[in-house]
Chains A and B, each alone.
Chain A
Amino acid sequence: MQRRDFLKFAALSGLAVAAPREARAAVSPYGGPYFVFVSARGGWDPVYFCDPKPNDASKFNRLYQWDEGAHKIGNIPYANIPVSAAGLGLAAEADPYLMSAKDFFTAQGERTLLINGINTETNNHSRGVKTTFSGRGDRDYPALAAMIAADRAPEHPLSFISSGGYANSGNLLPVTRLNSVSSFQKIATPNLVNVGDPEGPTYHHPGTFDRIANAQAGRTMDLLADNSLPRIQRSANELYVARGSMELLSTVELPELVDLPNSIGDLERMMQQTQLSLAAFKAGLAVSANIELGGFDTHANHDNNQVRQLAKLFHGIDYLFKQAEALGILSELVVFVGSDFGRGKGYNGPGAADGKDHWPVTSMMVISGDPGLIGGNRVVGATTIDSQLPVTVDPSTLEVLENPDEGTQIKWGHVHKAIRNFVGIGEEHPLAQKFPIVAEDLPIFG
């Protein structure tokens, strides 16, 4: 059995693994593709960006006019809502960091596969998040991001990064959080006294540092041999594996983190998470990352707050792609954008400051730096004009059907099964067998 397969097997059994030190040093950089899962936390409103509806104050759009023929970028429909800091109650300094749906799809539409009309079967936050990002709400399944990382590079030190969103790793591999460049630099070179002076003094002579590491490894192996308490076996193994690749952390070239106005601190955090995740991808140490932007649970002031958060989200995702391009990894980037559920249907009151409540119909965007990978500029599924209900599709062609008694209503199980096939975790894969999803195959990715 190859070492990598061995690690995968160990991950499946729920245990980390003690690989020989010489083998651990041979970890080669992971070259992509890289997967980012963006969570619009709280429940977004697709009607306000990718599933537009006619203006009707008594229904679900009081904000914008919709021309079905005109308001499209390629094949992607958009809600034509202009955004500005002043219009959204933000200081003018926030203007450069807001993006309308139109501008977003103008920039990213060619790369986007849009899935509308997903029946989430829940309007419960925790179950919604779990279902959106794991495929099942009735089991504590690992995040798809964790499964992909565990499948592709479980031994890499930053394989699955999550500083928000659904981070259940299912004990397949550890979760890593990143938040500070200066602190990361110091721990990436733990023996270096001054991280600003890479050639400067070290706490221990390199020979001593290695001697300590070897003694630690020997002692941990002996502990594992002598003590069979399951919790010790698991945690000592995890420590051993974690140590095995920590020297690679010094290969991460960290950027200077963005500094945004205080009024959009949440977007600053999202963009910083983006920077750190991309740096980890670039170094070949990470496979997948969770990134989150909150504030979408707009039970009140929906027409302002939902649009404001969407404008930040679009800027953040656009920034992700621009930065990936600057780092030369654009073509390897695949981004999944989802939320707890949708909002609606309709407003929860007649006033301008009213909101929209939870609605179990939503959308997902899959965006790839290599549009050919996913078939960009496509829309799958739809919702009804009058009721914002899921429309069925032909399971073979994905053509939207008029008769609701025919075809298939798209649910998260379908979407996740398609994504799993797309990323190489098909039904026969051990991870898919351990965490099965029972759903019809839909050719969402072609």
Chain B
Amino acid sequence: MTRARCLRRTIGLFHKPALATVTAMIFAGCYSGGEVNEDTTATDGTTSLTTSVGEETTTTTTSDTSGDTTTDTDTGETTGEPGDCYSTLQFFADEVWAPSFSKSCIQCHDPTGIAAEKNAKFLLLPPVYPGFMEANLANIASIAGYEYDDVPLLIAKPLFLTEHEGGKLFTEDDDIYIAIEELLAQMDNPIECPVDTSGAKSFDDVDMMTPAETLRKAALHLVGRLPTAEEYAAVEGDGLDAMPAILEAMMTEEAFFERTTDIFNDKFLTDKYANNSTNAAVALLSNTDFPGRNDFINNVNMLTTAERIRINEAVAREPLELINYIIRNDRPFTEIITANYTVFNSDSALMYSADVTFENPDNKKEFQQGILTVPRGGVDMPFPHAGILTSPMWLNRFPTTPTNIMRHRARMVLDQFLATDVLALASQAIDPDAGSTVFNPTRNNPDCSKCHKLIDPIAGAFQMFDKNDQEKLLDPPQWYPEVFSPGYLNEAMPPDQFPYGIQWLAERVATDPRFALAMTYTVFDALTGIRPLHYPTNPDSEFYAEELEAWETQDVILRSIADKFVADDHNIKTVIREIVLSPYFRGKGMLMKPSPARAAEIAELGIGRLSTPELLADKLEAVTGYRWIRSDKRDYLGVDYKILYGGHDSDAITERLTTINSVMASVGARMANEHACTVTAFDFTRTAEERSLFPMVELTDTPDNGSAQAIKENIQYLHLQLLGEELAIDDPEISRTYLLFADTLQAGLTNIASEEESASLLSNCRATKDLLTGVDLPAEQQITTDETYVIRAWMAVVTYLLSDYKFLFE
């Protein structure tokens, strides 16, 4: 048996009591449907699953001389030799899980398999569950001491020395036998290795952004602006150590909350009911439960379209504003599902008939806590608020029916808050004939109960809502005896909690370690454009080993971030900060050309993410000073080109495109042409100090009159301003751009001379109004002609840079 590769992970499970506990709960719940076995200590006293408590992760931070590398390495409680450490967990993953357990044993021993039905203690979670590998090793640790005739059961069963319904699976000559023996031998004293939680070692061949580059990317991404001089000075002085404070300040800016709105709408898709509609959200609300909405629907007050859109959006955005409120007030992010309140502005309070007081009702940015109430039996019955889980918008966005009975919502809870794709559990083929012969198949047919055991108890938590009218509160709640009882994992919900079942559920979900991972995954995807990797399951893949390594590295880093999130009282800003500082956000190149295998391993890392329409629209304003907007002031990229540029509408299209196509490239070209036309002449109407684009040149500067150096310096400035490229004045890229300017100027002058082109500017490209105020410029300040062709030459440069790879991609 040979070692597959150098391994870097600690065994981890002994440091993750919460994860181990939850895993035990999953196992126990799925198998026995009964209580958790609190004491799983084996006869020989091997490690207890639920009582092993390790030390907190130790973190060391070092900075190199440039201040741009931070290394976090978990060195606590490790037992392996540094440098060439091969942990027990890794040994299990390589030599036991991959070749055998993941293929044969799991067929019966997964939480809903045949073995599970018979209360077997040997259980294996599939990769669908975050943390499955550690959980599986923990399970093995818990049963390692069980023996039959002095032979460990884990070997005796598959050797068929004792009863085993799976029969004889291997002999004493097989590699897997030897591997399991070795694994069991290690169980007494598991080998643990230092963990590279920062990725510094895993990505030591990757060139990372400088602190200034990291700052620029973070500022554009999080708050849609360029860094201030003070922020640049801070990172130049203190390197990345300055970043946490800068990011903390950024995350209080109003623009940041527009970004978080986008991030979480990508997940919850409740903007389906906003989308510039005059009533889509309000119309969902019951006219008897929320009578405040009736005058609006009938437009009794003759509101304008703009007012109706604003009010409707206030209702549609209620769940996303709750999330923003939690972030803004530094509340634990668990409140997105546990808050016993929601938030209103004066518009949404009116529609919901909510009793909320505002300091300034005209300020639609003012949000106050409140609760929803509905009339029942002559009194006001309060909603059992559980963050967005009880938001009428979320409930409508993920609707149910009388036969679906909340299962859709249960699946969403698992997917959105527990990073668990329950549909992926249904990996085995269904036999239609077998299913049809079983009474109440969701409970009694293993093909069906496999998923329903997990889904239906969670679905039961939503029983206080009507199955037809999505947000209608029932009094009393209603559940079904033929369906699995309401609960979570193995824990049954007490009947007296049924009216508040979502709250009961939310408390448990919020403390499930998968919640922290799910939130980390959401932010990671949003900030890097990288989908968290799935555990690779195709060993025939050409680069399987590298795919596995990539997953392991990413898993370690994201878990580490999730741990910090929990340790910081579930502060979501901690997750954002850690991801910004991670190699996934900061990688910008390779220190050496990677081999094909290495390229496969780091395929999803660093810059190269296509900007979303929303990010691109903000970036355009950040670097040029002006947005690309329609006559109604709405962003072209938010309306006309949103879908064509790969965005979604939260409704029929819910996924973003991440690969650029010809249509998207053409949108980029149109944007660059139109915007260069709009801003170039106008920028020259301002004083040099006020200009965003041309602070170093005047319209009189041409290559022929000794201004070549000034032109190059402005080009150098534009590369930095628009693309973030810090280039030397003699850099070939400066020369390329200069050549574009000079050739365009020369050709243009020739064309004017031959009357192929006019000396006048196109009307669209003339500077006659202030772009920010819309006010006519004084006649002497207006620019309508371009006899020297200088404006059009600069337009060419601006178009060139605004459609550049480094502008379109982050």
> Does A171 contact B599, Cβ atoms closer than 8 Å?
no
Q: Does B733 contact A (CB under 8 A)?
A: yes
- Which of A47-55, A79-87, A328-336, A353-361 participates in binding chain B? A353-361
Tell me whether A212 and B800 are in contact (CB under 8 A). Answer: yes
In-complex Cβ contact of B589 among A179, A191, A232 (8 A): A232
- Which of A221-229, A315-323, A370-378 binds B? A221-229
Is B644 touching A360 in the complex (CB atoms < 8 A)?
no
Whether A242 contacts B662 in the complex (CB less than 8 A), given A139-B538, A229-B589, A231-B607, comes out as: yes
Given contacts A123-B430, A246-B666, contact A169 B659 (CB under 8 A): yes
Q: Whole-angstrom distance from the CB of B547 to the nearest CB of chain A? A: 12
Is B652 an interface position by the 8 A CB rule?
yes
Instruction: Decide: B669 and A187 in contact? CB cutoff 8 A.
Output: yes
- The binding surface of chain B is classed by DSSP as mixed
Given that A211-B743, A212-B799, A231-B605 are known contacts, is A245 also in contact with B662, CB under 8 Å in the complex?
A: yes
Contact between chains at B809 and A174 (CB < 8 Å): no
Report yes or no: A125 in contact with B662, Cβ–Cβ below 8 A.
no
Q: Is the CB of A158 within 8 A of B602?
A: no
Smallest beta-carbon distance B48→chain A, Å = 36
The proximity string for A residues 362-394 relative to B, scoring 1 for CB distances below 8 Å and 0 otherwise, is: 000000000000000000000000010110000
Tell me, in angstroms, the Cα distance from A156 to B340 when the chains sit together: 54
| Nearest CB in chain B: distance from A107 CB, A | 27
Query: When A123-B430, A229-B588, A234-B603 are in contact, do A201 and B663 touch as well, CB less than 8 Å?
Result: no
Q: Give chain B nearest CB distance to A237 CB in angstroms.
A: 10
Whole-angstrom CA separation of A158 from B662 in the bound complex: 7
Segment from A3-11, A202-210, A417-425 that makes contact with B: A202-210
User: A174-203: which have CB < 8 Å to B?
Assistant: 174-180, 182-184, 186-188, 190-191, 193, 201, 203
A235 at the interface (CB under 8 A from B): yes
B652 touching A269 by the CB < 8 A rule? yes
- The 8 Å CB contact of B803, one of A216, A228, A390, is A216
Chain B residues with CB under 8 Å of A248's CB are: 662
A176 close to B809 (CB less than 8 A): no
Smallest CB separation, A197 vs chain B (Å)? 12
CB distance from A161 to the nearest CB of B (A): 9
A175–B795 touching, CB < 8 Å: no
Chain B 627-662 residues near chain A, CB threshold 8 A: 640-641, 643-644, 646, 652-653, 655, 657, 659-662
CB of B670 within 8 Å of the partner chain: yes
Contact A228 B660 (CB under 8 A): no
| B468: A residues at CB distance < 8 A | 300
Q: Of all chain B residues, which has the CB nearest A187? A: B666
The answer to whether B6 has its CB under 8 Å from any CB of chain A is no
**CB-nearest residue of chain A relative to B636?**
A183
Question: What sequence of 0s and 1s flags, for each residue 410-454 of chain B, a beta carbon within 8 Å of any chain A beta carbon?
Answer: 000000000000011011011111011000000000000001000
Contact B644 A223 (CB under 8 A): no
B248 sits at the interface (CB 8 A): no
Residues B653 and A215 in contact, CB atoms below 8 Å apart: no
| CB pair A177 B423 closer than 8 Å | no
- Are B436 and A122 in contact (CB-based, < 8 A)? no
- Chain B nearest CB from A343 CB (Å) reads 11
Q: Which residues of chain B have C-beta atoms less than 8 A from A123's C-beta?
A: 430
Closest to B588 in A: A229
Quote the shortest CB–CB distance from A172 to chain B (angstroms): 10
Q: Which residues of chain A from 109 to 124 have any CB-CB distance to chain B below 8 Å in the complex? A: 119-124
Interface residue tally for chain A (C-beta within 8 Å): 84
- Is there a chain A Cβ closer than 8 Å to B681's Cβ? no
**In the complex, A235 Cα to B805 Cα: how many Å?**
9
Given contacts A175-B657, A249-B663, A193 and B762 within 8 Å (CB-CB) = yes
Interface-located stretch among B23-31, B346-354, B671-679:
B671-679
State whether B657 touches A177 (Cβ < 8 A).
yes
B427 interface neighbour in A138, A178, A182, Cβ under 8 Å = A138
A282 close to chain B: CB less than 8 A: no
Q: Is B608 an interface residue (CB 8 A)?
A: yes
Least CB distance from B554 to A in Å reads: 14
Instruction: Please state if A232 and B792 are interface contacts (CB–CB under 8 Å).
Output: no
Question: CB-CB < 8 A to A355: which residues of B?
Answer: 401, 403
Contact B667 A187 (CB under 8 A): yes
* Min CB gap A286→B, angstroms: 11
Contact A229 B590 (CB under 8 A): yes
Residues of A within 8 A of B599 (CB): 228, 230, 233
The distance from the CB of A176 to the nearest CB of chain B, in whole angstroms, is 5
A233–B661 Cα distance when bound, in Å, is 16
A158-B663 CB under 8 A given contacts A228-B593, A229-B590: yes
Chain A min CB distance to B674 (Å): 7
Nearest chain B CB to A251 CB, angstrom units:
12
C-alpha gap A233/B744 in the complex (Å): 30
Knowing A211-B743, A215-B740, A300-B401 touch, does A242 contact B594 (C-beta < 8 A)? Answer: no
Across the interface, do B737 and A157 meet the contact criterion of CB distance under 8 Å?
A: no
Q: Is the CB of A203 within 8 A of B662?
A: no
The answer to whether B589 and A348 touch across the interface, beta carbons within 8 angstroms, is no
A230 touches B603 (CB 8 A): yes
Interface string of B198-240 (1 = CB under 8 A from A): 0000000011000000000000000000000000000000000
B589: chain A residues within 8 A (beta carbon): 227-229, 232
CB nearest neighbor in B for A207: B747
- B757 proximal to A (CB < 8 A): yes
Q: How far is the CA of A143 from the CA of B295 in the complex (A)?
A: 48
Out of A119, A176, A357, name the residue touching B662 (CB < 8 Å). Answer: A176
Given contacts A180-B643, A184-B644, A223-B805, A235 and B665 within 8 Å (CB-CB):
no
Cβ of B58 < 8 Å from any Cβ of A?
no
Q: Which residues of B contact A211 (CB under 8 A)?
A: 740, 743-744, 747, 796
Task: Please report the C-alpha to C-alpha distance between residue A163 and residue B648 in the assembled complex, in whole angstroms.
Answer: 10
Report the separation of the CA atoms of residues A188 and B662 in the bound assembly, to the nearest whole angstrom: 9
Least CB distance from A94 to B in Å reads 19
Expressed in whole angstroms, the minimum distance between the Cβ of A356 and any Cβ of chain B is 9
Given the contacts A164-B653, A232-B606, A201 and B762 also touching, CB distance less than 8 Å: yes
| Given the contacts A204-B792, A239-B808, A357 and B403 also touching, CB distance less than 8 Å | yes
Are A179 and B593 in contact, CB atoms less than 8 angstroms apart? no
Tell me if B764 counts as interface (CB < 8 A to partner A). Answer: yes
B402 interfacial contact with A, CB 8 Å: yes
B587 CB–A CB distance under 8 Å: yes
Asked if B765 CB lies within 8 Å of chain A CBs, one says yes
From A125, A220, A231, B423 is in contact (CB under 8 Å) with: A125
Inter-subunit contact B587/A119 (CB<8 Å): no
Which residues of chain A have C-beta atoms less than 8 A from B743's C-beta?
211
**Complex partner residue of A236 from B602, B677, B805, CB under 8 angstroms:** B805
CB atoms of B662 and A204 under 8 A apart: no
Q: How far is the CA of A234 from the CA of B530 in the complex (A)?
A: 14
Q: List residues of B (724-755) whose CB comes within 8 Å of A's CBs.
A: 732-733, 736-737, 739-740, 743-744, 747-748, 751
- Measured between beta carbons, the chain B residues less than 8 angstroms from A387 are 433, 436
Additional A-B contact list (11), CB under 8 Å, known A187-B644, A193-B762, A229-B605: A121-B431, A124-B451, A180-B643, A186-B640, A211-B743, A215-B740, A219-B736, A229-B587, A229-B607, A300-B468, A355-B403
A-B contact pairs, 6 of them (CB 8 A): A174-B661, A175-B657, A203-B674, A207-B751, A215-B739, A235-B659
Closest 10 interchain pairs by CB? A157-B662, A231-B608, A121-B429, A174-B661, A190-B669, A187-B666, A242-B665, A190-B670, A203-B673, A299-B403
Give me the interface of B with A, judged by CB distance under 8 Å.
Answer: 206-207, 401-404, 423-424, 426-427, 429-433, 435-436, 451, 468, 538, 587-590, 593-594, 599-600, 602-610, 640-641, 643-644, 646, 652-653, 655, 657, 659-667, 669-670, 673-674, 676-677, 732-733, 736-737, 739-740, 743-744, 747-748, 751, 756-757, 762, 764-765, 792, 795-796, 799-800, 803-805, 808-809
Query: What is the interface of chain A, defined by CB distance below 8 A to chain B?
Result: 119-127, 138-139, 157-158, 163-164, 167, 169, 171, 174-180, 182-184, 186-188, 190-191, 193, 201, 203-205, 207-208, 211-212, 215-216, 218-220, 222-223, 227-236, 238-239, 242-243, 245-246, 248-249, 269, 292, 294, 299-300, 345, 348-349, 354-355, 357, 359-361, 387, 389-390
